Chains A and B, each alone.
Chain A
Amino acid sequence: MLNINNCHIKNLDNTLRVHSIESFGTHDGPGIRMVVFLQGCKLKCLYCHNPDTIQTSGGTEYQIEELVGMALKMKPYFGKKGGVTVSGGEPLLQSKELVPFFKRLKEEGIHTNIDTNGRVLNHFTKELLDEYADLVMLDIKHMTEDGYEFLTGMRNKETTFTFAKHREASGKAMWLRYVLIPDITNKPELLHAMGQYFKDYKTIEKIEIQPYHKLGIHKWETLGWEYQLKDARENTEEEINAASEILKNYFKEVKIN
């Protein structure tokens, strides 16, 4: 079932491989959202909150129409802002199947959002970025190559930036997300670097700071994986505010999520 080389999880026709579904998501995009957490990710971030979504095996196959039906039942609660978010794992590993899913959601007048690490930029992804995704939330892991590798286990963070450029070119809305870890990502020079890099982007509406916390640890233990960030600590209120102040120089809106 799994084709690792293509960086893509092969599914049955018209299905998505789902880890879980949150029906009252209020932290993954604007308003109240149905959040579909898809199974599988190519990275293994040290702080991953959903490490059980990383494995590309597992999950449950849902028919796309079934998911659309669920979204329709929740639609009265989406109001003017809410909608559907696909998150993960890395949802774009299933970009081929996401195209018809998002197409259907758009037909139903539902706002669509992709929460991604930006490492998959194939022709399906481009279709999503250019046409069907009303919002993209792009996760910026680290501004240095070494930092990126330390955190994610992979090199070549440039793909994230290429991805951002592509979205910028589409002219459609984008949010950045940044996990703030004391001494690892919460350093003034890194924050300034990120601000400098993105300051001229017109599609970026806001950046969300996600202060690091250890809530995911027990999931790592359940999986029998070693949690390597054990020694990292959580930010103090002041550290969060200081980071936020720096970012405010570059971004329209800085939100602590």
Chain B
Amino acid sequence: MEVKQLKSGVWTESVNVRDFVFNNITPYHGTHDFLVGPSERTQRLWEICKEATQEERQNNGVRSVDTETISTVSAFEAGYIDKENEVIVGLQTDELLKRTMKPFGGFKVVQKALSEQGLEPNKSLTNLFSKYVKTHNDGVFDAYTSEIKKFRSLGFLTGLPDNYARGRIIGDYRRVALYGINFLIESKKADLENITGPMSDAVIRLREEVAEQIKALKEMIELGAKYDLDLARPAQNAQEAVQWTYMAYLAAVKSQDGAAMSLGNVSTFLDIFIEKDLEEGLITEVEAQEYIDQFVMKLRMVRHLRMGAYDEIFAGDPTWVTEAIGGMLADGRSKVTKTSFRFLNTLYNLGPSPEPNITILWSESLPQNFKDYCAKVSIDTSSIQFENDNLMRENRGSDDYGIACCVSYQELGKSIQFFGARTNLAKTLLLALNGGRCEFTGQQVVDGIPEYTDEYLDFDKVMANFKIAMKEVARVYNDSMNIIHYMHDKYYYEKAQMALIDTNPSINLAYGIAGLSIVADSLSAIKHAKVKPIRNEEGLTVDFKIEGEFPCYGNDDDRVDLLARQAVADFNNELKQLPVYKNAEPTMSVLTITSNVSYGKKTGATPDGRAHGIPFAPGANPMHGRDKNGAIASLNSVSKIDYKDSLDGISNTFSIVPKSLGSSEQDRIDNLATTLDGYFSRNAQHLNVNVLNKETLLDAMENPGEYPQLTIRVSGYAVNFVRLTKEQQMEVITRSFHESM
């Protein structure tokens, strides 16, 4: 790239985007007054997109599917929304919203997804995949033990990426813009030269991986050529920087359909190019905003082919194009730039939207004007989420990170994470009360837990049993993960993303738990009240009678909050003992996505008084309606879970009616910003904020056509409310909406 006006550094010699940003950033402390509305071109394009998405909704959620081609980086000819109005080009296929087959995760899943649309794949492909080509899914099931299969089918391990792509890996898409692909190829080639013997499994594998990455880079050049873009060289101006970055991301979503495919942290990087062009008088604010609006519009149009069952765990057809905005640099400067504002402004220019999943890296030290603007956008759109930048930067070590999927820290270009789905901790607790048997089927799941025969549950005995259950579940969970990630690397390696990450990066395996609040309240009931299990003739618990009162998680009461904290620490400790594939570091999150509804169905009655079928609370939230001491007490309870025990994130969703946040717009902005400062000062990690009236949601259920863009935050991401199932909508509505008296 032209380095004349840019400050050089390590980045000029070797691939290091962070160093480029660090040396060239222009932090912005002003207000949002400079922002402009959408250009006419942008508006025309967005009208077409809105119509297309409406057709998609009317057509059972899918507008069209290609059944002929396997989607790869360079598959499909160039596609446009309306070519003459596009300043940022590129679609996954030759047509807007057309979904494609990416069968290497699992061919049967593709077949199922197509058959739900009344379609089937091209005959020769079916022939190939049934006879000659093996997929990730095939590999995993070849290696799965019967024990893993049992844990999976009974619902102890859920949502495992064994028949869909694992996602979560964030390519450093900025590299293509800063260096051009030729430079990246040369650098990977040099790495490959240096990976030498003795030829252990790991070394051979790495050599093969880097060779694959180089092929993917070459394919990216081809992809660019289809749009007349020369990606081999660095971007020369702001428009190209946005375009090149998008092309790199496009390569990823053309070749992979991971559950979550985050974008990273591109706004501040792009700002450097935009500032330069503005300074040189090459563009005005109108073009600057236009690039970002059109980039974001493209990100909103990313689609993957999913089967219906997928909706249970990831409702609303999310793609998790998570973009992290803000945060502080290690030297105390803020990473907020004008382009941080421009990204947020897309929520006005194009209206609210779940994607890209905009995540504010919040620090008390962020410029007040930016904090206020974020609060305003959150109040107006309920589309953004907040994470604690100080906590993550200080504990994890880098100031250049993105958010993988919903809430997880991932250093850009230097590290990756393996997605671990989650285990059902509430169901694990029931194993402790049922002699290690599944509470529904009576099948023996875990050995070594004595049958529980006392009339009342004794806290110490239950805890001893629970620990055995956790240890066993962790062991099987770890086994499944090692198989899954081994096979994913083997059959569905993310070569395009990995090509934009340092060779041999550090890895963490992101395990997860669901049902935390149920476990905490159950243990609290057992400890502070008298709990009598009701058992069926097989001796399995079907219900619990509670005598007396007990404190519930969500009321800032240490008697129960510390039980929640301890459960997280205990399970994390079990996981930490177990060796992971590729020497990944085990980490954990408390997160449910939207599967909290289906967990409810798959978990029998629990000792906290929750009946079978009642949905779990999302993420680390207190159970619905049990946080009776108001918003702050609820937030304080969640903040007690130690981030060090749950390094992949602790998701909390906070819903409040607008009026309760204050009587004027300025008050609401001040109060939300102050709430975030307060919550994060207590070392809490994540907060989804919804500022909505229940009536609006009820009305949207009745009249979905009138609310096409109504967005609501769920655990770690956002969805179009009208795309949730009725059941999921009801669950959202029954949550605690904090309201003043």
Interface residues of A (CB under 8 A from B): 20, 22-27, 31-32, 73-74, 76-82, 255-257
Do A26 and B661 have beta carbons less than 8 Å apart?
yes
Do A255 and B674 have beta carbons less than 8 Å apart?
no
Do B738 and A24 have beta carbons less than 8 Å apart?
yes
Instruction: State which of B35-43, B158-166, B339-347, B626-634 sits at the interface with chain A.
Output: B626-634
Residues facing A in B671-687 (CB within 8 A) are: 671, 673-675, 677-679, 681-682
Instruction: State which of B600-608, B662-670, B695-703 sits at the interface with chain A.
Output: B662-670
Note all chain A residues with C-beta closer than 8 A to B661: 26
Sorted nearest first, the 7 A-B pairs with minimum C-beta distance are A23-B630, A77-B678, A79-B674, A76-B678, A24-B631, A26-B662, A23-B632
- CB-nearest residue of chain B relative to A80? B674
Q: How many pairs, one residue from A and one from B, have CB atoms within 8 Å of each other in the complex?
A: 68
Q: Which of A22, A74, A80 contacts B740 (CB 8 A)?
A: A22
Note all chain A residues with C-beta closer than 8 A to B633: 23, 73
- Asked whether any CB of chain A lies closer than 8 Å to the CB of B199, the reply is no
- Asked whether any CB of chain A lies closer than 8 Å to the CB of B411, the reply is no
Note all chain A residues with C-beta closer than 8 A to B663: 26-27, 255-257
Do B741 and A26 have beta carbons less than 8 Å apart?
no
CA–CA, A76 and B741, complex, Å: 22
Do A77 and B664 have beta carbons less than 8 Å apart?
no
Do A24 and B556 have beta carbons less than 8 Å apart?
no
Cβ contacts A to B, 12 pairs, < 8 Å: A23-B629, A24-B738, A26-B667, A26-B668, A27-B662, A32-B675, A32-B678, A76-B682, A77-B675, A78-B674, A81-B674, A82-B674
Note all chain B residues with C-beta closer than 8 A to A77: 632, 635, 674-675, 677-679
Note all chain B residues with C-beta closer than 8 A to A26: 660-663, 667-668, 671, 740
Nearest Cβ in chain B — how far from A205, in angstroms? Answer: 15
Do B679 and A24 have beta carbons less than 8 Å apart?
no
Note all chain A residues with C-beta closer than 8 A to B681: 76
Q: Which of B636, B664, B741 contacts A73 (CB 8 A)?
A: B636
Note all chain B residues with C-beta closer than 8 A to A24: 630-632, 660, 738, 740
Note all chain B residues with C-beta closer than 8 A to A32: 632, 671, 674-675, 678
Do B678 and A78 have beta carbons less than 8 Å apart?
yes
Note all chain A residues with C-beta closer than 8 A to B632: 23-24, 32, 73-74, 77
Nearest Cβ in chain A — how far from B676, in angstroms? Answer: 9
CA–CA, A74 and B740, complex, Å: 16
Most buried by A among B633, B636, B664, B670: B670
Do A23 and B631 have beta carbons less than 8 Å apart?
yes
- CB-nearest residue of chain A relative to B682? A76
The 0/1 profile, CB within 8 Å of A marked 1, for residues 636-666 of chain B is 1000000000000000000000001111100
CA–CA, A25 and B661, complex, Å: 8
Note all chain A residues with C-beta closer than 8 A to B678: 32, 76-79
Most buried by B among A26, A73, A78, A256: A26
* Contacts known (A24-B632, A74-B632, A76-B682); A31 close to B674, Cβ less than 8 A: yes
- CB-nearest residue of chain B relative to A255? B664
CA–CA, A19 and B675, complex, Å: 25
- CB-nearest residue of chain B relative to A26? B662
